[in-house]
Structure 1
Amino acid sequence: MPKIIVKLLTAGLLIASSMGNAQTLTSIVLDSATQKPIPYVTVQLKNKGMITNEEGRFTFLLDKNVKPTDSLIISCIGYETIGKPINQFAEKTILLRPKAIELKNVIVSNKQYTAEEIIELVNDNIEKNYSSDLTKKRLFFRKSSFQRMNKTDYTLKKSTIAAFNKKFIDSVIQTVPKSNSYYTEVLGDLYGNYDNEKQKFDLIKASELYDKSMEVDLEKLEEKFNKIIKENIKTDSYFKIKSGLFGTKVDADELFDNEVDSTDVAALNKELEEKKKNEEERKKNFARYRRNTLGDIFNSLPIREDTYLNFLSKSRRYEFTLKDFTYMGNDAVYVIDFKPKRSEDYRGTLFINSDDFALVRVDYENVKSVKSFKLLGISMNTYLSKGKIIFQKEADKPYGLRYFESEIGNRMGIKRPLKIIEKNRHVKGRNKQNELSGNIDLAFTSIDKNEVVVFETEQIAPTNFEAFEENNSILPTYMPNYDPEFWKGYNIMEPNTAIKEFTSQGESVK
């Protein structure tokens, strides 16, 4: 067999091993010296981009327009860029070599800038480096939420309803999950610019990953509670709910769902129509909420003026230190640390292109609680706020967002007396019927993580933006555990190990 045919067959087998049946390229990027995964590496194929996850993994969908000779470019700050045809990526592991620093190549002018001068040049060039034109962005948005109950203490002082005893309250506390995780993933096209009022969203596909059995437990608890109330309260009763200084009146009828007679066809049709209406509204709200969240993310970028990440727009409030030089591909990059001079919230590191003074990456974290609230036994403390943002330039186009990550952590607590009193309008004399009173002391922690990957961006005309109408009729598909087949045929950010291994309790006992 001629050598050229052998080479072609070998190349074909290598491509197939990388691409698989779904025509994808899957790999993990490692540091060649330490053999450790490199997170947030940019992977570029033609006009599309990808980012490795925190474990250094990525999967790139190769569509029918991709040729084996098309170059895949892999770059990361501080490492040598790799660029070669796809058919040469035969291994499941890609090694990046740390790039040595040559200061003479970094200092490209006769003047050695101070950190403050560099930041000033960044601000002077924002309009040139980042376009505010209308665009269509194909993106993937993942939201991960984690909750943990830290304290569930209570004291039962009085209960005139025998069923509302310590045993019942203990069962209520046991029903409340001690920890819970929720993931939602969304793929779609975001139309607009950085202005919240100039955003439209075309939802393509979405999923929800969480333990549904916890919802079922709460429904059963509500049924049990309603049954006890119905068996013990009098007709025309109402409740006074007191907690400290405040009181709330609730009619007994408000505690129960309206029951529909199964023989009443008109009532059943009305209920079905209402459910259909609610379903349509839920679809609109799901897409609308994601669009608004994405709008808030783009509006919060540090290149914007009115942003809480104000270390550029309010640079005089921060202290900057030029710490190092490095490379992002062949571009020399200034590495500048920042911290607040007085009362600002964040510190971190800026990576700034030494040629055009564009901010290409920022890593930030809070130095103190971002928000705190405490009043009458109710407290909330935003103790964690950190993230990273990566911008990338394509050819002669302006810089655009490639990756956004934020992580927000809150601690919340309720430490208050609680009293529920049943009263009746038609009972003569003292109208108090039953009473439940005690003290509650609850504390829990929540962490929300947002990740956005922008795969490709194309500029659109204002007329096209105005003509586009949102028609989001898609609801997320529920998954009790992660299904890799769900996103087959689509580019997404590779899930981490926690997502891949997530299993609902209801599924695990089957």
Structure 2
Amino acid sequence: MDIFNMKKKLLIIIVLGVFFISTPFYAQILKGKILDSETQFPIENVNIYNKTTGFGTTSNSLGEFYLNKVKDDTDSLIFSYIGYHTETKTIAEFKRESNLILLQKKIDGLDLVDVSIKTLNDKINFQKLENIPKALYAFSANIIDGELFLVAGNESEETKQALKLLDRYSDMALNDFLKALARRPNKDWAKYNSEIYSYNFLDKKWGKIKSSIKPRAYHNSEVLNDKIYIYGGKTLSTNHWKEYLPNQVEIYDVKRDTLLLDETNPHLAINFASFTYDSLIFLMGGSIKEFENTKRKHYTNKVHVFNSNTGYWKELGSMPEAKETSGVLVNDVFYFIGGYKGEPIKSIETYNLRNGKWKRIGELFDPMSRPAIASKDERIYIYDNKRILAFNTLTRSLREFKIDIDIYEPKMVVYGSDLYILGGFNKFEFKLKPSNGFYKIPIENFKNTKIEKQRTFDSL
């Protein structure tokens, strides 16, 4: 090693030594969050005071705070806000509770009168909006700069011929029933959509993009740099009877209103999970084959990652279980909600992007195959079959509410402080029909609605 490098390293050591000697041991920052214990909404302007050091701060509009001059875990923190009970916690206790404080409202005589008068709604109120231009399900939906994009999807109707024949000819002999069923196969003429529809949240109007993609359904799409990347799903043969898994990625450039085609997609699957993280797009799981006679599926647990900077794909390990699934990214953790593997799934699982670990954190109240999922801040909203769930990822509480929207497998997005549910299909006695419904749900309506079911998971 030359003299210059030795002097350089010695200088670095001296500078670092001076820094650590001159910097107090307690010069660290403590981060936390404060929520209302009942509504679990953030509380702004809560006073946080370190009783040991004398330093304090207040929470912001998200309920978050940052406290300097923290000495050690025995320091006592005092949390106070008008109308709420004051909480005192040591830093050690605060950390054990995931840096989260739940403040309880004070209830005096006047409050008791208000509570007795106020009644909660049995179901969440919503507003019906202008129908989407085409009744669809199994499409994808993305938001860019105040505009919602609905991409392709299934516009077919499906008739359940076996049930229809049983109802019409209940006294038919078995052999005759099987012959009649063979003449009327339980499969309708399929039709997939190729359009990209847009909805402007400001103008509240639907439109249609001039570019159209290859007709496909059961796909996903993700947004990067104002481009919509459309992956996977199924396409149809010319006669609409055979189905294929396309290996092309179609890319719609929103700013330029142009469509590009990439011939490389290693994740050939339907009903899979996907999300964007920085410049990466992750595709996970799904089913890759359906056996015609038994309707049995072949599932995959593969994980593929696309790097938009290099244009290259990489296979990144495997999911713990091969299945159809969907979910949403909250901060650095992706949450898998329900899914399907021969039957609907109840589990909620996570994949932590910071450490690459998978974890099963709890269960839904009931199994769900393809719920509609969206997130706002730390909350995940889940719609399935006339019920909507709210899962707080910080407090690990899961709550279920009723809602009078009777559609199956729609999509759900968040814009501003509202949820939007669109598309899906309606179930009739012998038929499934695509829906063109479009609904708006103010998130604040949850706190005015009766909770049907509730549970809290153990620490994540």
Task: Choose between structure 1 and 2 for higher RCO, CA contacts under 8 A separated by at least 6 residues.
Answer: 1
- TM-score, normalised to structure 2, is 0.22
Greater helix fraction, Structure 1 or Structure 2: 1
Larger radius of gyration between Structure 1 and Structure 2: 1
